[in-house]
Amino acid sequence: MEKQLADKYIYQYMDRIFGFALDKLHTIDGARELASDIVYEVYRSFLKADGIVNIDGYVYRIARNVYAHYIDSLARGRNFVSIDGMAIAAPEDTTAEEAETEQILRREIGYLSHRQRTVIYMHYYEKRTVAEIADKLKISQGTVKWHLSDARSRLKEGINMNINEQNIQLSPIRFTHMGHSGCAGANGDTNAMFDTRLKQNIAWACYSEPKTLEEIARAVGVPQVYVSDDLKKLVEYAYIDRLDNTNDPKYRTNMLIYDGRDKADLSQIYSEAAQFISDKYLPKVFDEFENEKSIGGFPATGEI
């Protein structure tokens, strides 16, 4: 199958694959991992296959096979379904800042590979030695040490990134007013392009500074496989620039986004102004009205 056609099909099936994974595992974290594995295998099979008669059946069979291997690996204790399945308890006397860091750590562990997640959990939470982990997973002690070192580096980098910037996953943004100048074309209108919250948050994620696909995915809290499609479209219509041609390029939003979240709420300002006018000026208006009635011959009291 031609790559262009394979790309078209894989984009069409992403949501259905995620739905299949969620139906099987019933957890978001587990479904994301399983869906990523299925998408990888389906796409690789598309590139090798020709003349597929029943695309739905073809994708479903691959999804079933990947799911079977996934469950088999879990049964052998090599993987965990999700971070929720790990007994990671935080101390009861933690401060608010420590509790926030703990939540970030849990989320960053979820971004590790199956093997690294298992090694980290067994070493730090089950208190197993390197030798015990190697024996349990049937790998060398040197491999265990490498996974521990690499996972620690990734966790440190992820935690620092979350602490040093406002994570969009925790505080998603929403575009309220969108417009453009010039001719946008049939499909390039701003409102039509940013029709989902994910696209809006992708643009915001790489607005202040350039980011790679992985960094954008971490910022929005969505797996790369789901971010890449929307990012590609935003680049195609020149809302986001690809800054280099490396294997891991950085992206930067090139349109103006005005952040009004830190500004005063106009509705609150209007409310306070109305209250001020009501308290300070309305009594005078009614007093003047009463005086005018008396001067003009109207009775001061009673019906008119």
CATH of the domain at 32: 1.10.1740.10
Mean pLDDT of the chain: 76
Which has more pLDDT, 286 or 207? 207
d(CA 32, CA 142): 30
Question: Same domain, yes or no, for 105 and 59?
Answer: no
d(CA 63, CA 44): 13
pLDDT in tens, 180-221: 655 554 555 677 788 888 888 899 999 989 999 888 887 887
Q: Is residue 303 part of a domain?
A: no
Query: Tell me, what's the pLDDT at 66?
Result: 85
The whole domain housing 154 covers: 86-164
Instruction: Look up the pTM and report it.
Output: 0.38
- List the one residue out of 65, 165, 74, 170 whose CA is nearest residue 117: 74
Q: Is 165 helix (H, G, I), strand (E, B) or coil?
A: coil
Query: Tell me, what's the pLDDT at 211?
Result: 93
Query: Tell me, what's the pLDDT at 188?
Result: 54
| Ranges 27-31, 135-139, 144-148, 290-294: which has the least confidence | 290-294
CATH of the domain at 104: 1.10.10.10
Question: Same domain, yes or no, for 177 and 154?
Answer: no
- The conformational region for residue 77 under phi > 0 = left, psi -120 to 50 = alpha, else beta, is left
Query: Tell me, what's the pLDDT at 177?
Result: 72
Query: Tell me, what's the pLDDT at 161?
Result: 60
Question: Same domain, yes or no, for 245 and 178?
Answer: yes
Query: Tell me, what's the pLDDT at 221?
Result: 72
Q: Is residue 304 part of a domain?
A: no
Number of structural domains the chain divides into = 4
Which has more pLDDT, 62 or 154? 62
**φ, ψ for residue 108, nearest 5 deg:** -70, -35
Question: Same domain, yes or no, for 178 and 101?
Answer: no
Cβ count near 65 (within 10 Å): 12
